[in-house]
Amino acid sequence: MRALKVERSLARFGAARVASGWRPGAGGKVGPLRLAEMDLPDLPGPDWVRLRPRLSGICGSDLATVDGRSSQWFEPIVTFPFVPGHEIVADTEDGRRVVVEPVLGCVVRGIDPPCPACAAGHAHRCERLTGGHLSPGLQTGFCAEVGGGWSAALVAHPAQLHDVPDDWSDEAAVLVEPTACGVHGALAGPPGDDQVAVVIGAGTLGLTVIAALSRLRPDITRIIAVAKHPVQKEMATALGATTIAAPGELRRAVRRATGSWILDSGQLTGGAPLVIDCVGSADSLADALAVAAPGATIVMVGMPGGVHVDLTPLWQREIRLAGAYAYGPEPLAGGRHSFAVATDLVADAGLERLLTITYPLDRHAEAIAHAATAGRRGAVKVAFDLRSEKRR
Amino acid sequence: MPRPGFVLEVDRSTPPILTWHGEGFRLERLPAERSRVIYAPEPVAALDDPDQAVQDALLHPLGDSPPLPDLLRPGMRLTIAFDDISLPLPPMQKPDNRQRVIEAVLEMAAAAGVDDVVLICALALHRRMTEAELRHAVGDRVYDSFAPHGLLLQHDAEDPDGLVHLGQTDKGEDVEINKRAAESDLIVYVNINLVAMDGGHKSVATGLASYRSLRHHHNVKTMRHSRSFMDQEHSELHSSNWRMGRLIAAAGVKVFQIETTLNNDTFPKQMAFLQKREWEWSGRDRATYLATSKSLSRTPPKLARSIFQSIKAPHAMTGVYAGEVEAVHAATTAAVYEQQLVSVEGQTDVAIFGLPHVCPYNVNSIMNPILVMCMGLGYLFNLYRGKPIVRQGGVAILSHPTPWAFHPVHHPSYIDFFEEVLSETTDPIEIEKTYEERFATDEWYRHLYRTSHAYHGVHPFYMWYWGAHALEHLGDVIIVGGDPAAVRRLGFSPATTLTDALEMASDTVGRHPTISHFHCPPIMLADVS
Amino acid sequence: MAGVPRLPGGAPPEKRLPVSMERVRTGTAPALRAARRLLKPPPSPFPYTSPTWPDSVPREPAERDLGVDYDTDWARRYPARVARLLLTEVVATPAMAALADPQVAGLDRIAHLDGPVVFAANHASHIDTPLLLSVLPEPWRHRTVVAGAADYFFDTKLKAAAFALSINAIPIERLRVSRTSANRAAGLLQDGWSLLIFPEGGRSPDGWGQPHKAGPAWMAVRTGRPIVPIHIEGTRNILPRHSGRIRPGTTHISFGRPIRPVEGDDPREVAARLEAAISALADEHTTDWWTARKRAAAGTSPELTGPGGAGAWRRTWALGERGRRSRRPAGGRWPKL
């Protein structure tokens, strides 16, 4: 079978890093990603099943990997060579259409008794990502043995599978996983009354967060979204953002909405009680700190990596900085799992429209480049179409 | 003998015409046989002895007012209010008219033994003046006498304890003005009447008023019915102010009005070519033009701005009138008309306005895009009596670099107006309805207006309303040489050159339109028949 | 070199510009004579020197070409003017800026004046004159003559020539009533020269002003030219009377609103107005303009002449800081142990 494979090659990671600094997404050409002929993956355990992906999305974390910009942190919790792709809608061999919850926690790894986090249902916080009968890997798509979505086939544990309603298109289904991330981020902030929320970034993640905030958080009445490109502004408004601000205009927009003051340095005296950073850069975090009210929560949904930022406001204004990774039970949604909530949300908010374009595996370099410059090129989500891939 | 204004019919032998372009100017050739250029009258003669003239005016007032010394007595409360930084334009060389008049008034107050004297800068919702600006306006002697004792105040339209509500006019307009002024035994208001709009009852009723009071005439409806607001007879803005002024008088507030007029000598000797007719330029004028325009094109905008903002006009006092408000203002208006009126026959399809570096709201500051709109469509467009120089449905072509730049201290609410309001709509009615109140009551703007040097939060709205009449009248507005993004945000069309702009204008007004070029500054008032 | 025939004891003929060619020649004479005297060889006995005058023979009145009769026309011709311009701009102005740090106020009050005027200032020090000349604005800067005491500045030919050349001084009689010099000054005013004069008639002996003389007012009334009152503060601290030591300091020069006498004004009344104006300027310098105007209007400006009839120490005491020239001696530190 054919698959896109990431190999451990220092030279290629280096080349990708250099090239992508010049042109984002250039790592697809010169980087560690290769289209290769591979054997079908073996089933690691008795209950495991084989999947045949239909669509598999390109996520920001995938782009970081391909462009050689991932944090060293991931080094011990991935296994090379791996096939990326964790936003997957696939067919099982017995004819079910499923989306994959890619986290590889204790249950999937056959660890019994599971770690306390997994026992509590928070598989994404699993403490045994390197244990069990699988090699290290935090998710499907980062682990050599289980394969990934950017291929003709992969293996999965039944606990990872969520059925897709029959009347759904594949295009809608492939957005369930990213939407679940957005839901998890949107529901991570503490509840309040008549709150202003700021969403920085209007890529797939930002837009799903906006959709989740506007539909799942009645306590949030105003959503200020930072969007750069016309398609993002349009989508953000359509999904429920009340104010769209260009990146340089955020602080003033928040000031207007919250009636606070702004100081010469650009920091606000008050601000928004909830800021969701869907970018994860030094600039976005600095913006978030500048517009977060005293006592506010900043949720980092976007994968940050190493950033340099002045944390004085965090200390002086008792701001809580919270990460939101993956999915789990959502207390604010009555304890339902992010995936279940996301499934409803995709249908409700019509998130299918976020998928702009699909590419076959052959054109992976183009696909990566397109995904890396999605906003500028009028796109949101870019995915691989594997429905015509042959599996041998 | 200064020559009156002049309308030049452009023919093939007409030289290119000087067109202002912010901190710079260009020479533009206009299409022959269908263009005309409107030139201002030359500066009228200055008073020989302005100090003596001020004395005479105070001793022989107009209307039913007694001479100023008769109004002054020991133990009285005297408030002297004066115009703010927005007048005159550009700021005049020292000594300023305000200084001359205020010193003369104070001399008389001193002679009468008046001790309780307060000076108030009647800035309405404008920014507070800096110390240097106040010193320039009232002179060092007055500043050093009053400022250290806290007796030189700047009107604060947001001070809950500093305002008094005097009642409502018969049209239901609230009249709320500065408390110290209203409770004084006498207000002496010192005006500089640069244009026909200034002075009269507008001095106290606007200069010393609060937002609550101002909103009754600073709104879209009033501005659309002020045609133009330079012509008191046909200006709803003035009718409203006159109603308020009469109510103020009826409430027992005594005003001794002093109005001064200036000639339109706008530029220092070295830059005289800026107010000369092009065919009369001497070799020296041409050399200066070439040298300045060549060097300006190589000057960074920031530096160019500070050079232009340092220009002090050699304006000279041409008249001073004192006494009862309406009698004084009639005399002043006649004097202003004498300096500024130019007879113009009929309207044209297109009007070209070259925008200079300064408008009333960016002295020592930046002419931001909203002020560009206000300067072009608010001020220059409205410098007419009778009919606008451009026909209904015609096109106004403005020339200004229109940078996407704002003075962060002076114009904080302008930035938000530009970023938030104009990105949603440019319709004055919609803007007034949806956004005005929120900006007017924003705590932060209020704080900056009261303590820093910021225009009031609602001020950008007024700028937009100022142009409401023109927006309604015109078919299209084109800005030559502006930042395209900023021009589009204003709702106008950007053009690179005047030729392109005229080409674009023909989409609205047809091929071979007639064109007026309004050669301002110096300031003039087109009397269009 | 032929002298002008003069009537013994009589007043010289009235002098006006432009002058006749004959005067041009005689006008240079004093300067040449002064220069010659400088170059004169050491005294040698008669007949190489002039003869001594026998005491028994009554002396005829000497030709009066010094003092009030000194002829300064030569100093207003171009060579002298050019020399003085250089002297003012290259030497005096920088020197005054360095020594006296002049802070000038009130020039706006005279900005609209043109034509010759009478500048009248209080007088405390020899540097008043160069200081004022260094801060006078155009158009008066190089068209001003200075009234100098005939008995002080014009008593020898060398001094007379030096002052006429350097500061454009003209002799003014201050010790007795004489219209000669006043007439000449008035003539110069009418010819377009402004006049800088100290109405007190001399430098202050103790830091307080002296009563004004009416001369300047008389000249202004006669010519109809305005008087510009000037108040100078701080020159006494730099170089007081009876001192040869200059200590650099700061000076404040305030120009007042011009006083415009009209035909028929009483010179004494104009002089009183001038004195009041300078007092008010002084008041304005120490307080502020408004306070000064109020006191001027009420006639309560502090008088520049100080407490009258008081003991010397009280006059000095009342001067306060203004009279304190001596600085605390250097080295007044704690002894090193």
| Span B276-302, pLDDT tens digits | 999 989 889 999 999 998 899 899 999
Please give, rounded to a whole number of angstroms, the shortest distance from the CA of C290 to a CA of chain B.
5
| Residue B341 burial (CB count, 10 A) | 18
Q: How far is B264 from chain C (nearest CA, A)?
A: 18
A336 touches chain B (CB under 8 A): no
Q: What is the 8-class DSSP label of residue B315? A: -
**Please, how many CA atoms are within 13 Å of residue B13, restricted to the half-sphere of its CB?**
1
A198 and A141 within one domain: no
Chains in touch with B (3+ beta-carbon pairs under 8 Å) read: A, C
User: Could B146 and C297 be called an inter-chain contact, meaning their C-beta atoms sit closer than 8 Å?
Assistant: no
Local structure of residue B417 (DSSP, 8 states): I
Q: Is B361 inside a domain boundary? A: yes
All residues at 6 or more sequence positions from C74 whose CB lies less than 8 Å from its CB, including other chains? C27, C28, C30, C31, C80, C164
Within an 8 Å CB–CB cutoff, is residue B113 touching chain C? yes
Q: How far is A46 from chain B (nearest CA, A)?
A: 60
pLDDT at C210: 87
Q: What is the pLDDT of residue B314?
A: 93
pLDDT of res. C1: 40
In a domain, B283, yes or no: no
Residues of B within 8 A of C105 (CB-CB) are 140-141
pTM: 0.81
Residue with tokens 């001793």: B59
- Print the SS3 string covering chain C: CCCCCCCCCCCCCCCCCCCCHHHHHHHHHHHHHHHHHHHCCCCCCCCCCCCCCCCCCCCCCCCCCCHHHCCCHHHHCHHHHHHHHHHHHHHHHHHHHHHHCEEEECHHHHCCCCCCCEEEECCCCCCHHHHHHHHCCCCCCCCEEEEEEHHHHCCCHHHHHHHHHHHCEEEECCCCCCHHHHHHHHHHHHCCCEEEECCCCCCCCCCCCCCCCCHHHHHHHHHCCCEEEEEEECHHHHCCCCCCCCCCCCEEEEECCCECCCCCCCHHHHHHHHHHHHHHHHHHHHCCHHHHHHHHHHCCCCCCCCCCCCCHHHHHHHHHHHHCCCCCCCCCCCCCC
Instruction: Report the alpha-carbon angle A24-A29-A31, nearest 5.
Output: 80
Could you say which of B415, B438, B443 has the minimum Cβ distance to residue A252?
Answer: B415
- Our answer on whether B and A touch (3+ beta-carbon pairs < 8 Å) is yes
A262 contacts B444? CB cut-off 8 A: yes
> Smallest CA–CA separation between B236 and chain A, in Å?
33
Same domain, A205 and A301: yes
Is B49 in the C-facing interface, judged by CB distances under 8 Å? yes
Cβ-Cβ contacts under 8 Å, A246 against chain B:
419
Q: What integer is the mean pLDDT of A297-320?
A: 93
The total domain count for chain A is 2
The verdict on C273 touching B (C-beta cutoff 8 Å) is no
- CB atoms A261 and B447 under 8 Å: yes
Pairing of strands C227-233, C251-255: antiparallel
Please tell me whether residues A105 and A194 are part of one structural domain.
no
- Segments in chain C below pLDDT 70: 1-54, 56, 59-64, 175-178, 309-313, 320-337
How does residue B464 score in pLDDT terms, banded at 50, 70 and 90?
very high
Shortest Cα distance, chain B CAs vs residue C193, angstroms? 21
Q: Is residue A319 part of a domain?
A: yes
Is A198 inside any structural domain? yes
Distance CA B451, CA B430 (A): 31
Q: Given this model, what pLDDT does residue C207 score? A: 80
Cα angle C34, C40, C43 (rounded to 5 degrees) comes to 130
**Residue ranges covered by each domain of chain C:** 68-303
pLDDT one-digit tens code per residue, B387-431: 999 999 999 999 999 999 999 999 999 999 999 999 889 999 999
Q: Cβ of A260 under 8 Å from any chain B Cβ?
A: yes
Check: complex ipTM more than 0.85: no
**Chain A residues touching B408 at Cβ < 8 A:** 264
Contact B142 C284 (CB under 8 A): no
Q: Where are the beta strands (DSSP E) in B155-262?
A: 163-168, 174-178, 186-193, 255-262
Same domain, A9 and A73: yes
Helix axes C289-298, B131-146, angle to 10 degrees: 30
Tokens of C116: 């010759």
- Of residues A40 and B376, more confidence is placed in B376
Q: Is B148 on the interface with C (CB under 8 A)?
A: yes
Q: Nearest-CA distance from C169 to chain B in Å?
A: 31
What residues in C contact B51, CB-CB < 8 Å? 112, 257
Contact B139 C296 (CB under 8 A): no
Alpha helices in chain A (DSSP H): 10-22, 27-30, 60-66, 106-109, 116-119, 170-173, 176-186, 204-216, 230-239, 250-258, 282-291, 312-316, 338-349, 364-372
Answer yes or no: is A183 within a domain.
no
Looking at beta carbons, which residues of chain B come within 8 Å of A249? Answer: 419
A390 in any annotated domain: no
**Percent of chain B beyond pLDDT 90?**
90
Inspect the interface and report whether the beta carbons of B95 and C284 lie closer than 8 Å: no
B352 CA: distance to closest CA in chain C (Å): 38
Q: How many angstroms separate the CA of residue A225 from the nearest CA in chain B?
A: 13
The enclosing domain of B213 has a CATH number of: 3.40.50.11440
Q: Do A16 and A94 fall within a single domain?
A: yes
What backbone phi and psi angles, to 5 degrees, belong to A90? -145, 165
Contacts of B416 in chain A (CB under 8 A): 252, 255-256
Query: Rounded to whole angstroms, how far apart are CA atoms C153 and C203?
Result: 13
Structural domain containing residue B241 = 1-268+304-529
State pLDDT tens for residues A128-153: 999 889 999 999 999 999 999 999 99
Q: Is residue B279 part of a domain?
A: no
Q: Are C290 and B146 a contacting pair at CB < 8 A?
A: yes
**Cα–chain-centroid distance for residue A176?**
11
**Whether residues A7 and A60 fall in one domain:** yes
Residues A137 and A196 in one domain: no
B416/A252 touch (CB, cutoff 8 Å), yes or no:
yes
Q: Using CB atoms, which residue from C112, C284, C294 is nearest to B49?
A: C112
Average pLDDT over residues B449-475: 95
Minimal-distance CA residue of chain C relative to B115: C294
**In CATH, which superfamily holds the domain spanning C68-303?**
Glycerol-3-phosphate (1)-acyltransferase (3.40.1130.10)
For C110, the closest chain B residue by CA position comes to B95
pLDDT at B336 over 90: yes
How many residues does the structure list for chain A?
392
* Contacts with B139 from chain C: Cβ below 8 Å: 108
Number of domains in chain B: 1
| A97 touching chain B per CB within 8 A | no
Helix, strand or coil, per DSSP, at residue A272? strand
Q: Is residue B437 part of a domain?
A: yes
Top residue of B145, B146, B149, B312 to mutate, by most chain C CBs within 10 Å, is B145
Q: Please tell me the predicted confidence (pLDDT) of residue C11.
A: 45
Would B173 be classed as within a structural domain? yes
Burial A220-235 (b: 16+ CB within 10 A, else e): bebbbbbbebebbbeb
The domain of A374 spans 2-178+346-385
pLDDT surpasses 50 at B26:
yes
CA pair distance B377, B102, nearest whole angstrom? 34
Q: Has residue A206 been placed in a domain?
A: yes
CA distance, residue B469 to nearest chain A CA (Å):
29
C113 touches chain B (CB under 8 A): no
Among the residue ranges A154-163, A177-186, B502-511, C261-270, the one predicted with the least confidence is C261-270
Q: Is B239 inside any structural domain?
A: yes
Question: What CATH number did the domain enclosing A246 receive?
Answer: 3.40.50.720
Determine, yes or no, domain membership for A207.
yes
Q: Are residues A209 and A159 in the same domain?
A: no
Tell whether A259 lies on the interface with B, counting CB pairs under 8 A: yes
Does B144 lie at the interface with C, CB-CB under 8 angstroms? yes
CB-closest option in B415, B416, B442 to A259: B442
- In angstroms, the separation between the Cα of residue B465 and the nearest Cα of chain A is 22
At C46 the pLDDT is 63
Let me know if residue A292 belongs to a domain: yes
Task: Report the gap between the CA of C286 and the closest CA in chain B (Å).
Answer: 11
Q: Kindly list the partner chains of chain C, i.e. chains with 3 or more CB atom pairs below 8 Å.
A: B
Q: What is the pLDDT of residues B188-234, one digit of tens each?
A: 999 999 999 999 999 999 999 999 999 999 999 999 999 889 999 99
Give me the pLDDT at residue C37, please.
Answer: 65
Burial of B212 (0-12, 13-18, 19+ CB in 10 A): middle
Which positions in chain B touch C290 (Cβ < 8 Å)? 106, 110, 117, 142, 145-146
The C-alpha atoms of residue A250 and residue A234 are separated, in whole angstroms, by 17
Cα separation, C109 vs C254, whole angstroms: 10
C281 Cβ partners below 8 Å, 6+ apart? C106, C229, C230, C231, C254, C256, C292
Q: Which residues in chain B are contacts of A243 at CB distance < 8 A?
A: 420
- Report the mean per-residue pLDDT for chain B: 94
Asked if B503 is an interface residue toward chain C (Cβ–Cβ < 8 A), one would say: no
Average pLDDT of the segment spanning A102-116: 92
Q: Do chain C and A touch: 3 or more Cβ pairs under 8 angstroms?
A: no
Locate the chain B residue with the closest alpha carbon to A258. Answer: B442
What percent of chain C is predicted at pLDDT more than 70? 73
Q: What is the pLDDT of residue C25?
A: 45
Q: What is the pLDDT of residue C54?
A: 66
Residue A313 lies in a domain: yes
Same domain, A359 and A254: no
State the DSSP string of A134-155: SPS-SBTTS-TTT--SSBS-EE
Residues A202-246 have pLDDT tens digits of 999 999 999 999 999 999 999 999 999 999 999 999 999 999 999
